[in-house]
Amino acid sequence: MARETINVGILGYGIVGGGLYKVLTDNAQSITQRVGRPVNVVKVADIDWDRPREFDVPPELRTTDASEILEDENIDIVAETIGGIKPALGFVMAAIEAGKSVVTSNKEMIARHGNEILSAAAARSVDVAFEGAVGGVVPVIRTLKESLDADNIHEVMGIVNGTTNYILTQMSQNDMAFETALKQAQELGYAEADPTADVEGIDAANKLAILSALAFGRRVDVSQVYREGISRILPEDIAYARRMGFVVKLLAIGRRTAEDRLEARVHPVLLPNSHALAAVVGSFNAVFIRGEACDDVMLYGRGAGALPTGAAVAGDVLDCARNIVHGASGRTPCACAGEADLVPMGEVRSKVYLRMRVKDQAGVLGTIATIFGSQEVSINSVIQEQSDGKTADIVWIVHECVEDQLTSALKAIESLPIVESIPACIRVEG
Ligand code: HSE
């Protein structure tokens, strides 16, 4: 006979685990009404209960032993909020094997092992949900899996990392250097002590692999996602961009080409102020989706934090609970038909912003323009600034061109004695 309650065990009591517990317990009454049965957190596992937490758990629910959740037959849903691959993946596979549904906010695990996790879940007729893995509370997973499921999606483009968006916003609004803005992000708790995963685009690449698989129905090998971070963005370029009507953002871009191949790339871009994503500032996230029937859709919200991410994971708990109540599972299985055929970055076409520090003398512009021409790189606009009579900044925007050809041109330009350096090369979108 079915139990009177749906029982949940939480693995990992950090920021997200805390938010999840708080949302599920604070809203227990309305959740019971919505699901048709009470949804109770009955056990929370963490290896260290001495750390101070924002949201307290009654001592009788605490354990340091994950197997007390994984082996408890009364637990229906396991929420994995540990993060990373080890031990999270082993726990998730054990939970599925034990016939439990799993909810998780673990982007790295889903990006790298989503296929094996979803296959195991299908074999055991349980559900795996991961709304909290991308964009915190921004409901992009369910939107792609369900709301836009009937459409043909062409493009998913997102600001999916709040730390880097916060840093770029500070650099832009307060003329800060990257290092100063990063330090501030660390003091506010946005950036980790080791900020590599955020600032070098690793976190965004994991999220893009997940979004692309859902949007385009092909598995994306995250190690093949092109990735460039924001640590080399200079305040001078943010200032030039602003004067030309652009903002600098770190974007995760997934795009289906006319030949049915996929572009999957994470890198800084110049976005025109008129683009919907340009208005997304601070630690907020947003995902812009373009589809054949739906046209443009944008989802916006807090991409991190205990309560926003906790609310997204709690929504997944309710989804799994409803399926259990109605005796359903696997309603939205993995829909990937094989691996994505990714376009190598060298073949991608982009419009590009370039800044060069050059000798201020006759013939410089012409020499550089000739090299661009020889590689079929066509100039859209050019301005010369900051001349002290000896050196000057030349800022170019070139029309859409093939990356490999631009790279060849820049190599030749860099070797000219009249060129001191090329401090910036940033793609332009929108
Ligand atoms: N580190 C992420 C960010 C939050 O800065 O957006 C969790 O995905």
Pocket of ligand 1 (CB under 6 A): 161-163, 198, 203, 303-304
Domains 6-136+306-325 and 345-428 equal at CATH topology level: no
pLDDT for 1: 52
Closest residue CA from atom 7 of ligand 1:
304
Residue 333 predicted with pLDDT over 90: no
For domain 6-136+306-325, give the CATH number.
Answer: 3.40.50.720
pLDDT digits (tens, 9 = 90+) for 277-319: 999 999 999 999 999 999 999 999 999 999 999 999 999 999 9
Residue 203 predicted with pLDDT over 90: yes
Q: Please spell the DSSP secondary structure of 79-143, one letter per residue.
A: EE-S-SSTTHHHHHHHHHHTT-EEEE--HHHHHHHHHHHHHHHHHHT--EE-GGGSSTT--HHHI
> From ligand 1's centre to the CA of 370, what distance in Å?
44
Q: Which residues are catalytic?
A: 207
Position in ligand 1 atom list of the atom nearest CA 133:
8
> From ligand 1's centre to the CA of 13, what distance in Å?
17
pLDDT for 199: 97
Mutation test of ligand 1: which of 163, 188, 196, 281 has the most ligand atoms closer than 8 Å to its C-beta?
163
Q: In angstroms, how far is CA 338 from the centroid of its own chain?
A: 22
Residue 2 predicted with pLDDT over 80: no
Residue 190 pLDDT class (50, 70, 90 cuts): confident
State what percent of residues in the chain have pLDDT above 90.
95
pLDDT digits (tens, 9 = 90+) for 364-413: 999 999 999 999 999 999 999 877 889 999 999 999 999 999 999 999 99
pLDDT for 189: 85
In what order do the strands lie in the sheet containing 39-45? 62-63, 39-45, 6-11, 77-80, 101-104, 128-129
How much is the pTM? 0.96
Mean pLDDT within 208-214? 98
> From ligand 1's centre to the CA of 37, what distance in Å?
33
pLDDT for 191: 85
Domain boundaries, the chain: 6-136+306-325, 140-302, 345-428
Which long-range CB contacts under 8 A does 273-280 form with residues at least 24 apart?
Answer: 273/245, 273/246, 273/247, 274/430, 275/429, 275/430, 277/157, 277/158, 277/159, 277/249, 277/251, 277/430, 278/246, 278/247, 278/249, 278/430, 280/159, 280/165, 280/249
345-428 CATH pick, 3.30.70.260, 3.40.630.40, 3.30.465.10, 3.60.120.10: 3.30.70.260
pLDDT for 278: 97
Residue 15 predicted with pLDDT over 60: yes
pLDDT for 152: 97
State what percent of residues in the chain have pLDDT above 70.
100
pLDDT digits (tens, 9 = 90+) for 38-47: 999 999 999 9
Mean pLDDT within 67-90? 98
140-302 CATH pick, 3.30.360.10, 3.40.50.970, 3.40.50.620, 2.40.50.140: 3.30.360.10
Closest residue CA from atom 8 of ligand 1:
304
pLDDT for 406: 98
pLDDT digits (tens, 9 = 90+) for 101-110: 999 999 999 9
Please say whether the dihedral angle defined by the alpha carbons of residues 292, 298, 304 and 306, taken in this order, is positive or negative: negative
Tokens read off for 247: 């903002």
First-to-last C-alpha distance (Å) of the chain: 56
pLDDT digits (tens, 9 = 90+) for 82-117: 999 999 999 999 999 999 999 999 999 999 999 999
Distance CA 11, CA 41 (A): 11
Average pLDDT of the chain to the nearest whole number:
96
Position in ligand 1 atom list of the atom nearest CA 107:
8
> From ligand 1's centre to the CA of 36, what distance in Å?
33
pLDDT digits (tens, 9 = 90+) for 218-267: 999 999 999 999 999 999 999 999 999 999 999 999 999 999 999 999 99
If residue 302 lies in a helix (H) or strand (E), which one and from where to where?
strand 295-302
